[in-house]
């Protein structure tokens, strides 16, 4: 048993503490008339993407991987619930921005296809790609929205996604304990993140253009978080991830709302 294997109970407690958060009301007095229509359309696509993901729980339950135990399965279940909460938060954003929710989209279908096609390890890798996408995109989007509840909601989602990134990295770290496994992971990871960058850029380019987010800005931020995730999985010098998250837990589950997005500089491409 490796050193990460015993941490799933703590992850489970962490997600459980955050599951008590209430959903905000639909009403938002802020004026979003200046926000381009493409932003609501773009968020509607993400809303759809945040709605799925339940099949991984059953797969984990049936898994024969040594590091997968009941605590991991329960933590995974709470993680999926948290993603569904994101879908509800994004639905509030889409409606307040004057957009409509959607039932299908080609990039969301592509992620679902990739998740269903493969085993638990690769499924978690796909989820980790989705966390990198979420952190970068929600953060950049929030930094361009007027001050108001939507920024706070997106800030809350970004903070959640940071924890998800560490949760999935923790699992993949347990699966890459030898040099050749790390090599395979690195190849698969880099290919997947570049492919996802292209796909997401194609699907969301209208919103990025309307918000004056240059491809270079998005790419640099993307690569920063992609490298961070890769290091968390493969770099043996990294601290135990749960310690990083526990610091967040000590601040309380609602503290995430307080994040001030004015501090998010687009010129600053390193992960904060």
The binding site for Fe ion (CB under 5 A) comprises 50, 83, 86, 131, 161, 164
Q: How far is the CB of 266 from Fe ion (least distance, A)?
A: 22
Total length of the chain: 272
Q: How far is the CB of 32 from Fe ion (least distance, A)?
A: 21
Question: Which is nearer to Fe ion, 18 or 182 (by Cβ)?
Answer: 18
DSSP state of 266: T
Burial of 13 (0-12, 13-18, 19+ CB in 10 A): middle
Question: Which is nearer to Fe ion, 52 or 99 (by Cβ)?
Answer: 52
Question: Which is nearer to Fe ion, 182 or 193 (by Cβ)?
Answer: 193
Q: How far is the CB of 161 from Fe ion (least distance, A)?
A: 5
Q: How far is the CB of 86 from Fe ion (least distance, A)?
A: 4
Nearest to 140 by CA among 225, 230, 247, 227: 225
Question: Which is nearer to Fe ion, 130 or 207 (by Cβ)?
Answer: 130
Q: How far is the CB of 172 from Fe ion (least distance, A)?
A: 15
Q: How far is the CB of 90 from Fe ion (least distance, A)?
A: 8
Does residue 41 contact residue 99 with C-beta atoms inside 8 Å?
yes
Does residue 56 contact residue 126 with C-beta atoms inside 8 Å?
no
b/e per residue, 186-224, with b = 16+ CB within 10 A? eeebeebbeebbeebeebbeebbeebebeeebbebbbbb
Question: What is the C-alpha separation between 184 and 11, in angstroms, rounded?
Answer: 26
Alpha-helix residue ranges (DSSP H) falling in the chain: 8-18, 37-49, 55-62, 70-96, 106-117, 120-144, 149-174, 179-210, 215-234, 241-250
Enter the tokens of residue 16: 């459980």
Alpha carbon separation from 245 to 74, 105, 164 (Å, rounded)? 18, 33, 10
Q: How far is the CB of 112 from Fe ion (least distance, A)?
A: 15
Largest CA distance in the chain: 55
Question: Which is nearer to Fe ion, 87 or 206 (by Cβ)?
Answer: 87
Question: Which is nearer to Fe ion, 131 or 230 (by Cβ)?
Answer: 131
Question: Which is nearer to Fe ion, 133 or 182 (by Cβ)?
Answer: 133
């Amino acid at each position: 048993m490796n050193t990460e294997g015993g941490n799933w109970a703590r992850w489970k407690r962490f997600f459980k503490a955050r599951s008590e958060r209430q959903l905000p009301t639909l009403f938002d007095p802020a004026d979003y008339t200046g926000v381009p229509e493409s932003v609501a359309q773009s968020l509607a696509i993400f809303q759809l993407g945040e709605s799925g993901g339940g099949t991984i729980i059953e797969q984990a339950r049936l898994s024969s991987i040594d590091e997968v135990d009941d605590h991991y399965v329960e933590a995974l279940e709470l993680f999926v619930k948290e993603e569904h909460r994101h879908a509800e938060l994004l639905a509030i954003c889409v409606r307040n921005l004057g957009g409509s929710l959607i039932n299908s989209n080609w990039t969301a279908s592509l992620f679902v296809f990739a998740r269903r096609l493969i085993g638990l390890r690769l499924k978690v890798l796909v989820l980790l790609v989705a966390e990198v996408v979420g952190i970068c995109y929600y953060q950049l989007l929030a930094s361009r929205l007027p001050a108001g509840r939507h920024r706070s909601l997106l800030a809350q989602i970004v903070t959640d996604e940071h924890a998800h990134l560490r949760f999935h990295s923790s699992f993949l770290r347990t699966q890459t304990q030898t040099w050749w496994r790390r090599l395979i992971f690195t190849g698969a990871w880099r290919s997947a993140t570049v492919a996802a960058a292209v796909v997401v850029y194609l699907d969301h380019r209208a919103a990025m253009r309307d918000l004056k987010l240059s491809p270079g800005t998005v790419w640099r931020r993307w690569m920063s978080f992609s490298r961070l995730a890769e290091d968390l999985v493969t770099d043996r010098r990294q601290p135990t991830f749960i310690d990083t998250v526990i610091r967040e837990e000590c601040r309380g589950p609602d503290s995430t709302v307080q994040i001030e997005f004015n501090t998010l500089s687009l010129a600053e491409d390193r992960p904060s």
